[in-house]
Every structure is written in C-alpha cells, then in structure tokens.
C-alpha cells in the first residue's frame, strides 16, 4: 500500500504543486464522498480516502522528521480504533479515534501553516499548502464536534433529521457539513450548536476562519509584492543582478 501511494505521489509531483497535491486530492475526495448511509461499499470508499489523507498528511508534506514521527505515532492507533469501530460500532472505540484524529489533524495543520508562512516565495506549492491547511481545519473541527456530542449528547440541534436515528457515519457527515458552513461563516441555521462547549467550538472555528484569510492571505500578498518589486528593480538596474 505504501508503494502505491509513493507512485501516486510521484505522478502528482510531475503535475505541479509539489508536496501537497496528494493531500489536496485526498481531502477533496474525503469531503465529496462524505459517509452517508449509502451502503457498505460507499463507506469502504470513504474509509480508503480517509486512509489516504492520513498517509499523505504524514509522509508527503515535507514535514520535519520529528513531526513525521509524532504524526505516525498518532495516526496508526487512530486508524486501528476506526477500523475496530467499523466492526463493533461502539462509543468506547469511537472516542479515542476522534480524539487522536483531532490531535493529528491540528499537528499536521500547524506544520503546514508554519512551512507556508516561512516560505520566502509564493509558488503554486505554497498556494496548495494554504488550501490544504484550510480543509484540514474544517475536518479537524468536524471531528471535534462529533467528539463533543458523544461526550455531551444533545449539543447540536438538527432541523431536518433526528440524530438519534442515524448511524455514526451519517452523523459525522452532518458534522463535516456544519464545520465547513461555520468556517465559511455561511450559517444556514439547519444545524445549531446549543450547548456551551459546542458553541465555544463553533465560535472558535469562525474566528479561525476569518483570521486565517485575513492574516495568511495578507502575508502571501506581501511576500509576492516584495519579490515582484525586487524583480522589477533588477530588470531596470542590471548592476543589481
């Protein structure tokens, strides 16, 4: 399986965008094929994309060696708990999977953002890294919402469905939808955070979404403008070359 992802990664590198292409593709597919109640095969496909995200986020984003080791130590037990939960479908197995996944997602996101911010040049790879980190934040909070609701049931109000009558996979899908809506500050109102911890998480995600765009994008624009100005000066002053 590792060899398959390595070959896929090399193909992505040829397309352009560097180290983040495989992760971006996996994240987009993970969102598109959210785990609704559409049968075992559909759920298996989603699990494959989830596995691809774990692999790509750990091995193919040019992290430091320390980050890769820590991420691997978290990713392996998280996946084991998830696979066991697919068989036994119990809260006891779901909670450690969600907790470990939340920690994993935000460690990886922090590493990606650090690399993007410290990058002195704005390239396609940089922009793809920014998009990946944005997706990772949304997925991280979706798992966090599910974790909160398992600990304190009734943390969210659903206008169109009864959460007690749907499976864990369908519930996670709804939390993904709610997370992206919150991060984008759309707020349709069909799902509401009604308990303290859930509301705090929703507000925190909204703040992160606003500051992410305001701070990180402005940083990229500033770096791009600086180098464009330098190139302009070099072009008109050959002695500076």
Q: By percentage, how much of the chain surpasses pLDDT 70?
A: 83
Give dist(CA 95, CA 93) in Å, integer: 6
pLDDT tens track for 167-211: 888 899 999 999 999 999 888 889 999 999 999 999 999 999 988
- Per the CB < 8 A criterion, the answer to whether 138 and 89 are in contact is no
Question: What confidence score (pLDDT) does residue 48 get?
Answer: 93
Mean pLDDT of the chain: 84
The per-residue pLDDT for 58 is 93
pLDDT tens for each residue of 117-166: 776 566 778 888 889 999 999 999 999 999 999 999 999 999 988 888 88
Q: What is the 3-state secondary structure (H, E, C) of 72-90?
A: HHHHHHHHHHHHHHHHHCC
What pLDDT, on a 0 to 100 scale, did the predictor assign at position 12?
A: 44
108 SS3 class = helix
229 vs 110 pLDDT, higher one? 110
């Amino acid at each position: 399986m590792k060899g398959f992802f390595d070959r896929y990664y090399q193909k992505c590198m040829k397309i352009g965008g560097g180290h983040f292409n495989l992760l971006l593709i996996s994240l987009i597919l993970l969102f598109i094929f959210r785990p609704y109640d559409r049968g075992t095969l559909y759920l298996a496909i989603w699990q494959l994309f989830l596995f691809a995200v774990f692999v790509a986020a750990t091995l193919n984003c040019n992290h430091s060696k320390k980050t890769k080791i820590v991420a691997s130590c978290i990713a392996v037990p998280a996946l084991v708990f998830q696979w066991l939960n697919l068989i036994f479908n119990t809260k006891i197995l779901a909670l450690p999977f969600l907790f470990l996944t939340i920690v994993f997602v935000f460690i990886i996101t922090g590493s990606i953002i650090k690399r993007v911010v410290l990058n002195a040049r704005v390239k396609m790879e940089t922009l793809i890294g920014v998009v990946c980190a944005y997706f990772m934040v949304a997925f991280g909070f979706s798992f966090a919402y599910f974790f909160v609701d398992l600990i304190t049931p009734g943390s969210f109000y659903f206008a169109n469905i009864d959460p007690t009558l749907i499976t864990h996979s369908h519930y996670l899908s709804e939390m993904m939808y709610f997370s992206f809506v919150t991060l984008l500050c759309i707020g349709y109102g069909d799902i509401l955070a009604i308990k303290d911890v859930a509301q705090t998480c929703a507000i925190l995600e909204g703040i992160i979404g606003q500051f992410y765009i305001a701070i990180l994008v402005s940083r990229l624009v500033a770096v791009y403008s600086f180098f464009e100005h330098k190139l302009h000066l070099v072009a008109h002053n050959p002695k500076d070359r």
